Amino acid sequence: MEVPAELAGGSVSLAAALPSMSQPAAVQITVLKAQDLKTLKSDVLVTLVRVEYNGAVLGDSPKADVLPDGTAIYSFTTSFECSRDGPNSLDVIAQKPLLLTVVEVGQKEKKKQEKTTPLGQAVVDLLPLLQGECSLKVSAPLYAVPASPSESPRLEAMGGLEVTVCTKEPLLSATEFSSGSLLSVTLEAAYSVPEAFAAESQQNYMACLQVPAAGEKELPLLFRNGIVKADGEKEPLPRPKNWPLGNILAPGALSIPNSFIVGGPYEDEDGELTKSEDREFRTQAESTRRIVWDVERRCYLDAAAVAVLQKRIAECRFWPVELCRVSSAPPSKGKASKADKGDEAQISFHGVAYVNMLPLLCPGVKEMRGAFRVFSYQDTEVLEKTKSQHSIFWELRPHLSLIKEGLGTPPLSRPLPSKTQKEDKDSNRTLQSPSKIQLSDGTGGPENTRTCSIEGQQYSEAGTFLVLEIKLDKALVPKRLREELTRRVKEMIPSRPALPARTEGAKKVVEDYHKRVTSVANAILSEYHELFGKQLPGQGAIDHQTLEEQKRQLNYELNTSGKYFAFKEQLKYPVVKIVREKYLKTTAFETQEQLQAFLSELYVYLMEQMHVALNQLLSEEGASLAPPSRTTQEQLWLFASEAEASKDYKLASLYHQQRIAQDQRNIQSWLDYGAFCLLHEDTTKAQECFQQALSVDLQHIQSLLLCGIGAVMLQHYEDAEVFFEDACCLEPSSTVAWTLSGLFYELQNNNVQAERNFREAKKLLQAQLSEERRMPEAAEGGEGKKGISPSTDPEQFLPEGVPDGLADKLSEVVEPALACVTSEEEATASETAPEAPSPGSGPHQPPCTIFMKAVEFLMKANAVQFVHKALAHELLSPQGGPSCGYYLALARTYLLQEDLPRCEECLHEAVRIDCTNPNVWAQKGHLCYLKGDCGQAKECYERVVSFVEDAVDMHFVYLRLGSIYLEEKEYGRAKQIYLLACDNSASCLTWLGVGIACYRLGELLEAEDALSEANALNNTNAEVWGYLALICLRGGRELEAEQCYKYTVKLGLRNDELLREIRAAQRRFGFGDPAF
């Protein structure tokens, strides 16, 4: 990456780009004691501890005797200085640990120095000093140093060192700590490497990438000393990450404390090779020849570097990670020439992996891990993909030989060379022996270019890929907090007026007194009827003397039985409430006169209100009015669905509005009305309904998701993102929420975020399915499962609660239906259907992919646009594909859009895949019914009724099958089917069907009962009044026939055939029409 020329000549360290400290900060280290030294060596007597940091020895402690329990007290203190521009900068603190070596001191012999032998080493991570800590006290594990190279290393801890590290002040201020970030890159391994790679002492396998540092500089992160492993077992998981150190004597001390490589499913990774077809290749590659690093490198990024990192990722998503083999020539005898020294490090097998860093720009994402293919390093390709104009290894080439020998490390940060410096280097290159690496200036020559290309090509042929992990301690793009999302949602949702306060007002207490007086009056009237019987209208008036005698007897009975006292007690509480609420009397009266005056006033008022209540009671009894019908929310929803199915959308809208009027705080009522509006492309009104539902409960997930869908359709994308993000935040375990959010981000061309959301949804669904398999009920469910096939015994599969008489007659309906299922289509379906239905094909099986779960939710909301996107993903999903559920859902969308030819194609495929799915046959019946093919529809519906499992929309199957039977004058079958519908979900239309069938069968009494039930559920159906008029005409009830006919005409009967039948009956009987 290019850097402005004025920065090219800057310092080579990152510290130069950071604000300088007023003075260096002293980091003080105190080694207190060692424990369990006898486990390292049983006869150890005297030891000392050596403290090293960043390649420099800070000091040796005084010699200390080892106590019998293996403890040695050192109490040794030393320090080093940390400064922005010194050797121990913040980057060094981040990535290099404190190294402690316990050394055994032998007895001093004559004229010889004391013999010292390293026993063990421990490391202390100083990273907490960059995280706001000023003091650390750790018990560092002590690892044994092998006594000889042939001895196998012991990786377990054999003792411990108690160490304290402290600074006077934090190394980072509060502002620097909050605005900066810590970047860590872990290179795990390179798998499926070329066969030419071998474990030789003269070969060093390296990888490197550059990250931006402060001041527009580049920070190279170099991973060296990769270990070549031959075919064998896979690397264990979890396994520890290693320090990027080369001078550790104890192999166990290389492990970073509490830092592990844990792996994970390939599908959850952010890189390449994550598809199901790549699983076998990756599994095999992990146990074949590979290069293992398991090294983590860290660096501190200040606020400016964080901003540069974010900007660079946004400008170019692919970052190059270079891989190469560095060969060092064996040392020759005698002195080597300068030219020979310059040719010691030869770079070969130069490859590059293109790491897509874009996931780090997703909100709240702090880490990414994945596998990335390695390709041959070609300047033009690297420049095109990454905008990087030079190879990192060329800049580090002067240091590679030192790195191989462990004598030094490359600079932590270096400015990129300016154009003049590049030209100087180019001129110097011609004086050296040509390298095998092809450089960006093209000076390697054609021969070396071909060599590099051939070597690099082996990566592609072998399928080499790197596995690495990148972490930040703070996300580059912060995720919005739940509180902020809730606030944004509140701002978008109009506030609902507060519910009126429930107070005991004067009006309410008077109404309660009326109700209690009415209750007592009814009770007294019942007592009168028990004593003297009911007075019939034809018996005439009762004389005064008899009334007085009855009054006396009634009073006697009430007093002797105690009922008078009970009635009085019932009136006491309402009277007390009137005194308190209407007259506001809550304290004692001052004088007796005030009390008497108030009692007189109260008595007069109570008597007046008693007469009001009694007059109202008597007037209601005289009118004998029928109580107003009160339909439930479920019934109104059913009525709306029926009106919608019959394309009476105005009536359906009216029923939805009635549901809302009954209870404006019923969320489901608002959502159902919004789905109705969405189906008829009134998106603005639908969004208003969804927002009304959300205003009732701001944490209702379905409302949030539907508000998001509505906002997308209205092209309010910022609002939609808030809704979807809030839903995922409120219920992070919702598979549907993550899936719909992913579909939204895909619409926004944010494919990285979409894939992350889909991956989260799949993870949740997999966990849910695993949990369901572990449930005992799921294990026992296999024993009770029955095959879904047409029944040969209709009575065996009757729904529960069907009357016995109906059960006896159902066979008359179903048995002829079974004779009709041998159609040509069934034969074709049976031949082409698979041996067993696919999982999820039956109506009782839930959808088994995230997209089908989303489709199930979206279909209820009539969100056809999102349904098609989800089905497109389902078609391409490895777990999905063109299943029966896929074609069935697609057919339903076409049926909603009245695209009947496409619907028929989808249902044909669904039947071919699973011919025992009742939902498929129900939809096919609806399709034939809408096309006017009643014969084919009848066969489909009869097949649905014969299945063990009910279809989802059995109510409409019953209604339409019954109407076909009525049309074909099969009234007995129609009656039984409509009775099944009434038992399943009674409505005006189901009882109307029963009434029509009974009327045509001459069962007038049953017909009138059924039509009365229909009228009670909906007294505005003109057809119900029409058939009631016919029944009254045949029964000779002139007045009732005339009234029913009036309502039939007033409500606008549309059935012309029925209207002609009524008028013919009127002429035949000579009454029923007011015009006569």
pLDDT of residue 840: 38
Q: Which residue has the tokens 């002797």?
A: 560
Question: Judging by beta carbons within 10 Å of its beta carbon (0-12, 13-18, 19+), is residue 68 exposed, middle or buried?
Answer: exposed
Within 378-505, where are the H helices?
A: 379-386, 392-405, 419-429, 445-462, 482-492
The two tokens of residue 160 are 């411990």
pLDDT > 70: what percent of the chain?
Answer: 80
Query: Is the Cα dihedral 980, 983, 985, 991 positive or negative?
Result: positive
Per-residue pLDDT reduced to its tens digit, 328-354 = 655 554 444 444 444 556 788 889 999
pLDDT at 1068 over 70: yes
d(CA 420, CA 135): 48
Angle at 501 between CA 496 and CA 502, to 5 degrees: 130
Of 467-476, 706-715, 780-789, the range with the lowest mean pLDDT is 780-789
Q: Is residue 702 over pLDDT 90?
A: yes
Contacts of residues 684-689 at CB distance under 8 Å and 24 or more positions apart, as own/partner, are 684/714, 686/710, 687/711, 687/713, 687/714
Is the pLDDT at 816 greater than 70? The verdict is no
Question: What is the C-alpha radius of gyration for the chain, rounded to an integer number of angstroms?
Answer: 44
Q: Enumerate the H helices of 222-302 as residue ranges.
A: 279-285
Q: How many Cα neighbours within 13 Å face the side chain of 839?
A: 8
Comparing C-alpha atoms, which of 891, 949, 975 is closest to residue 925? 891
Beta-bridge mates of residue 78: 29
3-class secondary-structure state, position 1032: helix
Tokens linked to 479: 């995720």
pLDDT (tens digit, 9 = 90+) per residue, 57-105?
999 999 999 998 989 999 999 999 988 778 888 888 888 999 999 999 8
**pLDDT of 37 over the 60 cut:** yes
pLDDT digits (tens, 9 = 90+) for 422-450: 444 443 333 233 334 444 333 344 444 45
Q: What is the DSSP letter of 837?
A: P
81 neighbors 117 (Cβ within 8 angstroms): no
What is the number of other CB atoms lying within 10 angstroms of the CB of residue 297?
23
Reported as a pLDDT band with limits 50, 70 and 90, residue 569 is confident
Q: Is there a contact between 399 and 326 (Cβ–Cβ < 8 Å)?
A: no
Predicted local confidence at residue 590, as pLDDT: 86
Q: What is the pLDDT of residue 833?
A: 35
At 155-188, the pLDDT tens digits run: 788 889 999 999 998 888 888 888 888 999 999 9
Give the pLDDT confidence score for residue 537 in this predicted structure: 55
Instruction: Write the pLDDT tens digit of every residue in 745-788.
Output: 999 999 889 999 999 999 999 888 888 877 655 445 444 444 43
DSSP letter for each residue of 204-257: EEEEEEEEEEGGGEEEEEEEEEEEEE-SSSPPPSSEEEE-S-S--SSGGGGEEE
Q: What is the mean pLDDT of the chain?
A: 80
Q: What is the largest CA-CA distance in the chain?
A: 151
The answer on pLDDT for 839 being more than 60 is: no
**41: phi then psi, degrees, rounded to nearest 5:** -155, 125
951 vs 954: CA distance, rounded Å: 5
Report pLDDT for 724. Answer: 94
Helix (H, G, I), strand (E, B) or coil at 190: strand
Q: Over 50: is that where the pLDDT of 835 sits?
A: no
Which residues are within 8 A (CB) of 830 and not within 5 positions of it... i.e. 6 or more apart? 915
Q: Is the pLDDT of residue 401 over 90?
A: no
How much is the average pLDDT of 365-381? 91
- Predicted TM-score (pTM) of the model is 0.69
What pLDDT is recorded for position 154? 75
- pLDDT for the residue numbered 539: 61
Look at 434-448, 510-524, 987-1001 and tell me which has the smallest mean pLDDT: 434-448
Q: What is the reported pLDDT for 442?
A: 39
Is 808 a residue whose pLDDT tops 60?
no
pLDDT for 599 beyond 60: yes
Whether the bond into 238 is cis, omega within 30 of 0: yes
Q: What is the pLDDT at residue 201?
A: 63
- At residue 761, the pLDDT reads 92
CA dist., res. 997 & res. 963, Å (int): 10
User: Is residue 395 pLDDT above 60, yes or no?
Assistant: yes
**Sign for the pseudo-dihedral over CA of 798, 802, 805, 809:** negative
pLDDT range class, residue 196, cuts 50, 70, 90: confident
More confident residue, 450 or 643: 643
pLDDT at 212: 79
Q: Residue 137 — pLDDT band, cuts 50, 70, 90?
A: very high
Look at residue 821 in the predicted model and tell me its pLDDT: 34
Percentage with pLDDT > 90 across the chain: 36
Residue type, 15: A
Quote the CA–CA distance of 377 and 354 in Å, as a whole number: 11
Which range, 207-216, 543-552, 799-808, 960-969, is most confident?
960-969
What DSSP string describes 658-697?
HHHHH-TT-HHHHHHHHHHHHHTT-HHHHHHHHHHHHHH-
Q: How many CA atoms lie within 13 A of 436 on its CB side?
A: 19
* Amino acid (1-letter code) at residue 1022: A
pLDDT at 836: 32
For tokens 């154009």, what's the residue?
A: 419
Q: By the 8 A CB rule, do 353 and 272 touch?
A: no
